[in-house]
């Protein structure tokens, strides 16, 4: 996950640093993210948007598969517990974490893997607040 995240960051940084910007350079967003930067560019960003989407998708799906595989082993172990109270306690602990993971990944997938034609800055602001403020508070 660390290597994939590092590679994803390097690709995003190199792609954005090669873009020409003209006109207003004010980012109308809560933080400096790739998609609002693409909207500021005065060149065609189709290839760069697709490249960053592919790297983000591989990174998200790869880490999500590792988490789901881990949870399948955890659920298998929970199902083999003899104590009903122990199963209930273990399942409630896992369920709250799985809820946070589901909320985080669904918001991240919505933010980074949707087509550029359906991009809305106001929706992106709500999603970014959700996964940077709301989910960590859980």
For range 107-113, the mean pLDDT:
83
User: Higher-confidence residue: 48 or 119?
Assistant: 48
Please write the tens of the pLDDT for every residue from 46-105.
888 888 888 888 888 888 999 999 999 999 999 898 888 988 888 888 888 888 888 888
Please write the tens of the pLDDT for every residue from 7-46.
878 888 888 888 888 877 888 777 777 778 888 888 888 8
Q: Is the pLDDT of residue 117 over 70?
A: no
Q: Who's near 62: CB < 8 A, 6+ residues apart?
A: 1, 4
Range(s) of the domain holding residue 69: 2-137
Overall domain count for the chain: 1
**CA-to-CA distance for 62 and 120, rounded, in angstroms?**
26
Task: Give the pLDDT confidence score for residue 1 in this predicted structure.
Answer: 65
């Amino acid at each position: 996950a660390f290597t994939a995240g590092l590679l994803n960051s390097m690709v995003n940084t190199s792609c954005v640093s090669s873009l020409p910007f003209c006109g207003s350079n004010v980012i109308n967003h809560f933080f400096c993210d790739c998609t609002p930067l693409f909207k500021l560019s005065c060149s065609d960003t189709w290839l760069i948007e697709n490249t960053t989407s592919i790297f983000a998708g591989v990174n998200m799906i790869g880490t999500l598969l590792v988490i789901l595989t881990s949870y399948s082993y955890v659920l298998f172990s929970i199902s083999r517990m003899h104590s009903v109270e122990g199963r209930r306690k273990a399942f409630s602990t896992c369920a709250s974490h799985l809820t946070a993971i589901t909320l985080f990944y669904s918001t991240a997938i919505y933010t980074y893997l949707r087509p550029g034609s359906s991009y809305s800055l106001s929706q992106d602001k709500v999603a970014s607040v959700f996964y940077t403020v709301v989910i960590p508070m859980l």
